[in-house]
Structure 1
Amino acid sequence: MKHLGRHVLAEIYGCGFDILNDIRKVEEIMVNAALEAGAEVRECVFHKFSPQGVSGVVVISESHLAIHTWPELGYAAVDVFTCGERVDPWDACNYLTSHFCAQHMTARETKRGIIPFAGQVAVNQ
């Protein structure tokens, strides 16, 4: 079956505190991950929490990359959603894992917008 997009949810562990707690570095790595995957970056919004942590989203023409970090745990929760065939969300996830200096990454992919169902209207009863 054809689908509209691919959505990868990644759990990235064993990352460096100083990387995950630096809003500029996290944004730079996220943008570069999108570019590495072949995406076209549109907008970015990132927020630094106190005492630590960063959340952000990179809006791409093909959908988005989002992150929330727990530097004190060396952990980042990431989702990469891409539409179409041109951009590979796994390229972005692998780039993030490498540039966060992670020790381990687990991820799963979900196909989004299965074509035979895309034109049907859901009815809640």
Structure 2
Amino acid sequence: MIPDTTGIAEGAALLRVLANPARLRIALHLLGGERSVGQLEEDLALKQPNLSQHLGELRDAGLLVARRESRAVFYQVAPGRPRHLLASLLHGLGGAASAPVPPAPRPPRRPVAAASFAVVRVAR
């Protein structure tokens, strides 16, 4: 079934964002799982200011979601249609089998120290 006019326009807008080779490369790389900006910079050999601009455009288009942990920002492919679209593009480009792409694993979280309180009684 072919989407209605609105769906076609939304699809064309997403494809325009992905038409940039660097953005497509970033999005397809993130199908492998969540990565920090620093990891993406290292993995893809892109300079941080340029990388951040591309990540912002992908996020604004709804293709990526971000989360902040302390000073680091982590990106992953948005669930649902964006993940399916990118998996289909990857398959069409010869980069993966036709099996659906599993959800990206989350990195292990560092334990966070909790505050503890003690009651001190003073003997009189």
Q: What interval of TM-score do these two structures reach, taking the shorter chain for normalisation?
A: under 0.3
Higher strand share: 1
Q: TM-score, normalised by structure 1?
A: 0.26
Q: TM-score, normalised by structure 2?
A: 0.26
Higher helix share: 2
Structure ranking higher on relative contact order (CA contacts 8 Å, 6+ apart): 1
